[in-house]
Structure 1
């Protein structure tokens, strides 16, 4: 049995992956929490340990005997990456062998300021290993692109991850695209596949790749829209935006993302919706969502959810 610790274990992505890890029966899992009564305290087969993420000494004690530490610290709550830096330092001091930072999205972070902490964490992980003659902490960046489940909005297709609207609105048969960048590539992977591949990677005995791309479906923006039109049986209304407007922070569309992420307050919602729409459009046009395939290659026998089949089942019989 491998000793695992989970930081930020109450989040939706964390819950999906914890379920997959528990299903293997291969791990003793300790969830680090800031709260005496965590929201998911009823999880069978896990231990809970209250920690202060700002106290490195206490974190070191909590991580003694831990082999692998997975972080699900929400980047929006740690924009400078300070919590994850403290976790990394504590993990090294405690003798943790493997670390997984909070990623689970795009490969690049360009034009997505809400993920600025990710880039700081990536750089810090590179630094701690280059300062030593040998690798002091093995790590992997799990990058699955966009959750395929979001294209099922408003229908829930996973146990824990809530529906979230994207620039591809299958419900209303519409999409927002950057004019002239319809060939931009995006990767879409279901939550089920992400959790399954992460669980396999945690069990993997060989050396982790530093970048762990998980590519369920790799498609151009135009192909995603064409797939949606075929599934929904009608043409999509396409609103095209200019790159220069987006670069200036202007979104000239009749609609934007409406459903807010659970980590965003109602007061922040309007501004964040515009910022996220602009950021995803800009970053996709620059290749940020075209993730690599390291975990596909590591587990070639795994069969991913096909986008067309997955969404056809969701939208079958719906007007």
Structure 2
């Protein structure tokens, strides 16, 4: 048994991982919270909360005493200049934490996704930590996009809410980049949480790049699966790479469901930017994540995309 600290533990993905860790009944989980009132409560066996100030280095070091692994889910949009995560990393090193996972939980690259620019900066910060020898064992958990999002508007995870993507299974339509049949990785929320729980128990060194590849599929393969499970071809709208580069998106529809962390007054512009950025970065390979944890946890059986979507969309209008 080890002690695991979860930063940003009230977030949707964090709560899925916490549930998987609780179900394993192996470890003690401490949720780090900016609020005095616990974000989840202290009524879950094996889970406690500690109020922290991420600007108080001494307090952070004290909160991390005896912690083996830190999992960070700090919202990048609410962490100016990545101060909270950088301070958390520094405190983890001083406190003798063995393992650290920064707030990743998505794509392999962050190119053309300014809302995730903080990830690249934190990656560089962690790289410098170990440039003269391994000081902190860390990994970048990267599951690609959540397969659950292709079930929108239906909810398939306990905490992660439905979100739109360029593949709209409900309305049988999609937006694709002209001439780019790129590879994307889709992993269910359940599989991500289960892999993280198993990774905690892995006794070897964590790989720096922690790819989790539930399904690696091309855009055309996704559309074929969509046609099969939804009963007819999708209406396809095509955009050009150069238009996306210029920030232009001339389509009849766009994303609608916003993440809970996005303020109402920023939602429309950010959703447009997210769709452009996801298409643009996808064409450049950002969503074709690697499979380091697949190779480490070879007995784990991932949910197949077609099986998952066939079950979700069976008998749906």
TM-score range, shorter chain: over 0.9
Distance 1:8 1:59 in 2: 14
Distance 1:243 1:87 in 2: 38
The answer on 1:37 being equivalent to 2:15 is no
Work out whether residues 185 and 220 of structure 1, in 8 Å CA contact, stay in contact via their aligned partners in 2. yes
Inter-CA distance 79–153: structure 2 relative to 1 (3 Å threshold) = farther
Moved over 6 A (4+): none
Residue 95 of structure 2 corresponds to 94
Residue 54 of structure 1 corresponds to 55
Distance 1:165 1:125 in 2: 32
Q: TM-score, normalised by structure 2?
A: 0.98
Residue 154 of structure 2 corresponds to 155
Residue 242 of structure 1 corresponds to 240
Residue 187 of structure 1 corresponds to 185
Work out whether residues 153 and 164 of structure 1, in 8 Å CA contact, stay in contact via their aligned partners in 2. yes
Shift in Å at residue 45 of structure 1?
2.1
Work out whether residues 99 and 139 of structure 1, in 8 Å CA contact, stay in contact via their aligned partners in 2. yes
Residue 203 of structure 1 corresponds to 201
Work out whether residues 53 and 87 of structure 1, in 8 Å CA contact, stay in contact via their aligned partners in 2. yes
Q: Structure 2 regions of 5+ residues with no counterpart?
A: none
Shift in Å at residue 43 of structure 1?
3.2
Residue 73 of structure 1 corresponds to 74
Work out whether residues 80 and 116 of structure 1, in 8 Å CA contact, stay in contact via their aligned partners in 2. no
Residue 139 of structure 1 corresponds to 138
Deviation per CA, 1:160-194: give whole Å up to 9, x if none.
1001111100000000001111x200000000000
Q: How many residues align?
A: 316
Between 1:276-285 and 1:220-229, the stretch displaced more is 220-229
Distance 1:48 1:39 in 2: 8
Residue 309 of structure 1 corresponds to 307
Distance 2:11 2:62 in 1: 24
Distance 2:254 2:291 in 1: 31
CA RMSD of aligned residues (A): 0.9
Shift in Å at residue 44 of structure 1?
3.2
